[in-house]
């Protein structure tokens, strides 16, 4: 049953992930000097320092995790398929866990490809006339892991039985603000602790709402 749940989630989110991968490829190739129309991005003076890649990566990743979270939660409600899923021989907690594991895994696997591809180009001698150290990639890696709470907040927003213009968007707005603020924490242990605590709180809220909600 768990394998069937994973297969269902992968099938239903494949289109979103493929579009995100195409966007990541566009970002990485554009900043290496390959002119891919439409030309929204230009080359950075120094890779990972100019801010172009960080901003583009943040935009694509945010759109990806928010779309994934809402598709996996709100999409089921709109289509009326939650009732069908809940009648399967699997607990509600197991169903939600499969969804969260799939969404989180898809993001964590596909998004680093853009970082690694751009960093590989930047580390290759003769590709640009500026210095490069792997430590320059730290801000984008911090942003990468920070998107996990944003995904969980999007999922929580989708399953909450509240009004859109009331409190339904509160988790997403709060997570977005906290994720932005935590980027300025310079100490990795404190940064990671904040991300883990935020993700754990959101995951606990998701399981609580999913367990109490009457579908």
How far does Cα 205 stand from its chain's mean position? 18
Given a cut of 90, whether residue 116 has pLDDT beyond it is: yes
Q: Which residue has the higher pLDDT, 162 or 189?
A: 189
pLDDT-based confidence at residue 5 (cuts at 50, 70, 90)? confident
Q: How much of the chain exceeds pLDDT 90, in percent?
A: 40
Residue-averaged pLDDT of the chain: 84
- Report which of 180, 190, 101 is spatially closest to residue 143, judged by C-alpha positions: 180
- Report which of 184, 179, 171 is spatially closest to residue 138, judged by C-alpha positions: 184
pLDDT-based confidence at residue 166 (cuts at 50, 70, 90)? low
pLDDT-based confidence at residue 186 (cuts at 50, 70, 90)? confident
Q: Which domain holds residue 85?
A: 2-212
Question: Of the ranges 86-90, 157-161, 168-172, 200-204, which is most confident?
Answer: 200-204
Distance between CA atoms of 3 and 117, rounded to whole angstroms? 31
Q: Which residue has the higher pLDDT, 106 or 210?
A: 106
- What does the pLDDT average to over 138-157? 94
Q: What is the pLDDT of residue 46?
A: 77
Least confident residue range of 26-35, 51-60, 93-102, 107-116: 26-35
Given a cut of 80, whether residue 41 has pLDDT beyond it is: no
- Report which of 86, 84, 78, 93 is spatially closest to residue 158, judged by C-alpha positions: 78
State how many domains the chain has: 1
- Report which of 170, 16, 31, 182 is spatially closest to residue 106, judged by C-alpha positions: 16
Cα-based angle 105, 134, 33 (whole degrees, multiple of 5): 85
Q: Encode pLDDT of 60-71 as tens digits.
A: 999 999 999 999
pTM of the model: 0.89
Q: What is the dihedral of CA 185, 191, 145, 149, to 10 degrees?
A: -100
- What does the pLDDT average to over 34-49? 67
């Amino acid at each position: 049953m768990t394998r069937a749940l994973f297969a269902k989630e992968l099938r239903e989110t494949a289109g979103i992930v493929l579009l995100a991968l195409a966007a990541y490829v566009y970002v990485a190739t554009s900043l290496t000097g390959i002119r891919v129309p439409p030309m929204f991005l230009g080359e950075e003076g120094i890779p990972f320092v100019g801010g172009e890649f960080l901003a583009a990566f943040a935009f694509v990743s945010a759109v990806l995790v928010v779309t994934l979270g809402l598709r996996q939660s709100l999409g089921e409600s709109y289509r009326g398929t939650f009732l069908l899923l809940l009648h399967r021989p699997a607990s509600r907690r197991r169903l939600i866990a499969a969804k969260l594991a799939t969404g989180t895994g898809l993001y964590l696997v596909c998004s680093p490809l853009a970082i690694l591809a751009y960093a590989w180009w930047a580390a290759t001698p003769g590709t640009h006339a500026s210095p490069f150290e792997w430590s320059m990639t730290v801000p984008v890696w911090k942003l990468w892991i920070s998107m996990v709470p944003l995904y969980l907040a999007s999922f929580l927003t989708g399953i909450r039985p509240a009004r859109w213009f009331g409190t339904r968007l509160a988790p997403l707005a709060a997570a977005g603000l906290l994720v932005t603020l935590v980027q300025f924490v310079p100490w990795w242990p404190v940064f990671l602790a904040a991300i883990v605590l935020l993700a754990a709180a959101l995951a606990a809220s998701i399981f609580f709402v999913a367990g109490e909600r009457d579908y």
